């Protein structure tokens, strides 16, 4: 079986890497894996590919300065179609909800190649939040033959949509857990042997070594928050930094100008805020593991932090990952200054002020670190161990 993984962004590479590793490990069982990179986020993607040792078999280099979604989508479908003709895969796997994933699924569908959707079934119910991701993942669901949702709730969302059959054959759903937990635990395990080092990490560790001091990790880049909502988030971060001089807020800043400008304008002069360029994945995971609290609008971080026992404040009004909220590990507060500050105050002075985060995926609603193996088992038509959260 020749499996082609189509990816183009940093999160896709992180979440596809465990599948590449598992397929390589089991090559003797008759499985071959290839990687096609669109380069949708080239400057953020390449370091992740190096970290996970997954050099693409083909790179399309679709990134353009100030590209539009329409332009990227059109170029991606045409370029991926040509790559499919050359690489001739038996199966195409796409991950998540990026433009690359949607274009890859559509191009494979046009050629009659079965599509497997990794991290399927995430829904907010609002086609414009997140934008365009909610549209992308719903489109992928229409053409996917195999759905690999991370949780039972995600599987139920797919079932509820009563998706059309493919020539009379219903698509198949397998709850696997999220491969991001596989990637996180693999990376942290390697760091136990060779700890990640950087100037930012060194400062964070020195800060933590002072009595009563701690680190708060911040990320933010969602398109739907651009403008005044994002400025509100930045003002909230400034308020938190002022109210908690014992906290070091570390913010790797996304390269999008809609993020860079307000972040540096509002937060640039704060003595206990560090604005950093985007971090490599090993450095980011190490910094995450050093943090007491995370404030983010990222989907992946909502999954990673709970696996380490670290609470999360989400600066979005809606999330397609409600399992963390229901488990009490995530607070969904939106891009609202007062709500963010209030949630941080409750967590930093009460609920977690004396806790030490645990470094285990056992309490995570998103997986146990074995998702990639379940996907490969399924594709090889071997017995699949049931893995359904909250069900007997």
Give the residue numbers marked as catalytic: 97, 119, 133, 221, 223, 254
**Which residue carries 């005044």 as its tokens?**
228
Q: What is the CA radius of gyration of the chain?
A: 20
Measuring CA to CA, how many Å separate 30 from each of 15, 84, 380?
Answer: 23, 20, 8
- Report long-range pairs for 291-294 (Cβ below 8 Å, ≥24 apart): 291/214, 291/215, 291/216, 291/217, 291/250, 291/357, 292/214, 292/215, 292/216, 292/348, 292/352, 292/357, 293/214, 293/216, 293/217, 293/344, 293/347, 293/348, 293/352, 294/216, 294/217, 294/218, 294/219
Measured from the Cβ of residue 314, the count of other Cβ atoms closer than 10 Å reads: 27
């Amino acid at each position: 079986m020749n499996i082609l993984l189509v990816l183009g962004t940093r999160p896709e590479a992180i979440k596809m890497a465990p599948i590449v590793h598992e397929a390589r490990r089991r090559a003797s069982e008759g499985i071959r894996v290839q990687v096609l990179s669109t380069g949708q986020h080239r400057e953020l993607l390449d370091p992740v590919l190096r970290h996970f040792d997954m050099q693409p078999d083909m790179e399309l280099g679709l990134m353009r300065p100030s590209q539009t979604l329409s332009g990227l989508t059109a170029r991606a479908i045409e370029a991926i179609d040509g790559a499919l003709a050359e690489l001739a895969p038996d199966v195409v796997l796409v991950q998540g909800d990026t433009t690359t994933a949607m274009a890859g699924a559509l191009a494979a569908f046009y050629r009659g190649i079965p599509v497997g959707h990794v991290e399927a079934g995430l829904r907010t119910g609002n086609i414009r939040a997140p934008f365009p991701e909610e549209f992308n993942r719903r489109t992928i669901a229409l053409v996917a033959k195999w759905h690999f949702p991370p949780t039972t709730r995600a599987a139920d969302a797919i079932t509820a949509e009563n998706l059309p059959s493919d020539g009379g054959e219903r698509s198949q759903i397998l709850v696997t857990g999220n491969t991001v937990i596989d990637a996180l635990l693999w990376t942290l395990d390697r760091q136990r042997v060779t700890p990640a080092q950087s100037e930012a990490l060194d400062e964070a560790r020195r800060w933590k070594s002072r009595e009563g001091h701690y680190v708060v990790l911040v990320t933010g880049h969602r398109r739907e928050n651009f403008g005044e909502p994002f400025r509100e988030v930045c003002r909230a971060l400034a308020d938190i930094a002022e109210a908690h001089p014992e906290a070091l807020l570390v913010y790797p800043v996304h390269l999008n100008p809609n993020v860079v400008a307000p972040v540096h304008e509002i937060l640039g002069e704060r003595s206990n805020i560090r604005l950093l360029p985007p971090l490599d994945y090993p450095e980011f995971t190490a910094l995450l593991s050093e943090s007491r609290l995370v404030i983010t609008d990222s989907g992946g971080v909502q999954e990673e932090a709970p696996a380490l026992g670290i609470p999360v404040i989400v600066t979005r009004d809606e999330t397609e990952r409600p399992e963390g909220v229901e488990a009490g590990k995530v607070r969904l507060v939106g891009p609202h200054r007062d709500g963010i500050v209030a949630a941080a105050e409750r967590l930093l002075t009460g609920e977690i002020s004396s806790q030490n985060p645990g470094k285990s995926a056992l309490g995570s609603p998103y997986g146990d670190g074995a998702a990639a193996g379940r996907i490969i088992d399924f594709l090889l038509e071997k017995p699949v161990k049931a893995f359904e959260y909250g069900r007997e």
